[in-house]
Structure 1
């Protein structure tokens, strides 16, 4: 059977899942710099998948990658929630469904 090549960041248990399926996989552990780069790529990938499917599962994948980015950059989930809450308090959320159409100079 021919080999299929990848260059993508995968979840931690993917290698064992592949091997449990009777296949062999070749992996490597990334440097911190490469990890952050591939996490950013993964964010784009997961966002595109969510935009195509609009599924809760894809939104959960996007959130999982966001949590990994937070940790990899040395922040905590509490830091993320604090910043989100501060911005919501200052600028609001998106509950009112407001579409800004135009701003006129006075």
Structure 2
């Protein structure tokens, strides 16, 4: 029993260097390369995972992880980051940002 192999399943997108880090730690990372459909699905799952982690930790590092996933999604969908920033600024101009801390409680008819 002492030499029993413990296997943990993840089935999640990880950073490119993670398998090597795992292998260097004396474990064996079993991976596969996602096709386009799986990759996009896993990117969206990763975005949710990173947002959830930020909710828990409230750390800058998690915000950086969120941004990294957003950049990967932009690259995958061929969305120029400058174009994304322009869309963000246009939306901020037309609808405002969030810095006024406005909370909508209800809408009365």
Q: TM-score, normalised by structure 1?
A: 0.90
Q: In the alignment, what sits opposite 1:101? A: 105
Tell me whether 1:49 sits opposite 2:41 in the alignment: no
> Gapped runs of 5+ residues in structure 2?
none
Q: In the alignment, what sits opposite 1:66? A: 70
Aligned residues: 105
The alpha-carbon deviation at position 51 of structure 1 amounts to 0.7
Q: Whole-Å Cα distance in 2 between the matches of residues 104 and 22 of structure 1? A: 62
Which of these residues, 44, 48, 52, is aligned with residue 40 of structure 1? 44
The alpha-carbon deviation at position 57 of structure 1 amounts to 1.2
- Taking the TM superposition and a 5 Å limit, the aligned residue runs for 1:84-95 are 84-95=88-99
Q: In the alignment, what sits opposite 2:29? A: 25
Comparing 14-23 and 41-50, the one that deviates more: 14-23
The alpha-carbon deviation at position 89 of structure 1 amounts to 1.0
